[in-house]
Amino acid sequence: MNIADYSVTKAVLDRHGFTFKKSFGQNFLTDTNILRKIVDTAEIDEQVNVIEIGPGIGALTEFLAERAAEVMAFEIDDRLIPILAETLERFDNVQVIHQDILKADLQTQIQQFKNPDLPIKIVANLPYYITTPILMHLIESKIPFTEFVVMMQKEVADRISAEPNTKAYGSLSIAVQYYMDAKVAFIVPKTVFVPAPNVDSAILKMVRRSQPAVQVQDEDFFFRIAKASFVHRRKTLWNNLTNHFGKSDAVRQKLETALAQADLAPSVRGEALSLEGFARLSDALKEQGL
């Protein structure tokens, strides 16, 4: 009997008098086929350690624990800690950490794995309200997670994996794709959750690149330029950059020089630039002292 079976989930929740908190964005998955598919997509085996965020009552954790070397699950809701102790009792390869993943000292925590040298994958059903901060926090951490297989709102997954010249493409696409190769693996309908969310979800698979997608002089500056280029989506690159840097004659002169150097027309929009285009632009702007 799987934790994710609807009758089991309901019995566990009823037994503990558990009620869903909107502030934690809690939606529990009750479809074992989808859980199996998530673990298959992540290619979990006994040579992999897993970090899970927001295990809920342990539905996904159970499938991960059956295959992984170890699972470390971070749960912020103290009401779920005794429930997880019960539902995951039979596993000796699961640690539940009662902590906010954004505040955890992950470098120290991963040393608690019996074999911390194994590759670490992030597999999680992420809370919708905080998906992007969690992802960026983990991607930008100095911990070499090899892969992320995470569930999120379909719209956010589409934005992260978007190609240039599409409506979904933006600074989030660039921020993630700089580090990771990102692809939507499959869609998860809202009907398989308790309670059902308002929108469909997607499983996003992100594999860490051996080196960033592009080489830039200054990473922080590169991300800042990407963000500035999408502040007003319908405006040209020129308009967004002058809004960001200012409109003095000296600034305009530097912008003209940098755009020419990067081989970009001032009339182009940010959504038309690939990561390579943004790399050329940010390096050229940096060289102009902007």
Domain spans of the chain? 6-208, 219-287
pLDDT-based confidence at 25, cuts 50/70/90?
confident
Give the three-state DSSP class for 45.
coil
What pLDDT score was predicted for residue 279? 98
Fold of the domain built from segment(s) 219-287: Helicase, Ruva Protein; domain 3 (1.10.8)
CB 120 within 8 A of CB 49: yes
Q: Is 125 annotated as a binding residue?
A: yes
54 is in an annotated binding site: yes
Q: Which two tokens stand for residue 133?
A: 């901060």
198 is in an annotated binding site: no
Asked whether the predicted pLDDT for residue 127 surpasses 90, the reply is no
75 marked as binding residue: yes
Residue 185 has pLDDT above 80, yes or no: yes
| 29 assigned to a ligand binding site | yes
Q: Give the pLDDT confidence of 211-234 residue by residue, as tens digits.
A: 999 999 999 999 999 999 999 988
**Token reading at 272:** 């038309």
Distance CA 162, CA 51 (A): 26
Looking only at the bridges linking them, the beta strands covering 120-125 and 49-53 are parallel
Contact 123, 74 (CB under 8 A): no
Average pLDDT of the segment spanning 83-97? 97
Q: Would you call the peptide bond into 119 cis, given omega within 30 degrees of 0 as the criterion?
A: no
The encoded tokens of residue 126 equal 């992420």
Distances (CA, A) of 78 to 86, 100, 155, 215: 14, 11, 30, 43
For the chain, the average pLDDT equals 94
Q: What is the pLDDT of residue 78?
A: 94
- How many CB atoms are located within 10 Å of the residue 134 CB? 21
One CATH from 3.40.462.20, 2.60.120.10, 3.90.1200.10, 3.40.50.150 for 6-208:
3.40.50.150
148-161 mean pLDDT: 96
Residue showing tokens 């929009």: 269
CA distance 161 to 152: 12
126 assigned binding-site residue: no
- The DSSP 8-state label assigned to residue 177 in this structure reads H
Question: Among residues 69, 14, 58, 11, which one has the least CA distance to residue 32?
Answer: 58
Query: Rounded to two decimals, what is the model's pTM?
Result: 0.91
| CA–CA dist 9, 24 (Å, integer) | 18
Read off the amino acid at residue 186.
F
- Do domains 6-208 and 219-287 share one topology? The answer is no
Residue 22: pLDDT band by 50, 70, 90 thresholds? Answer: confident
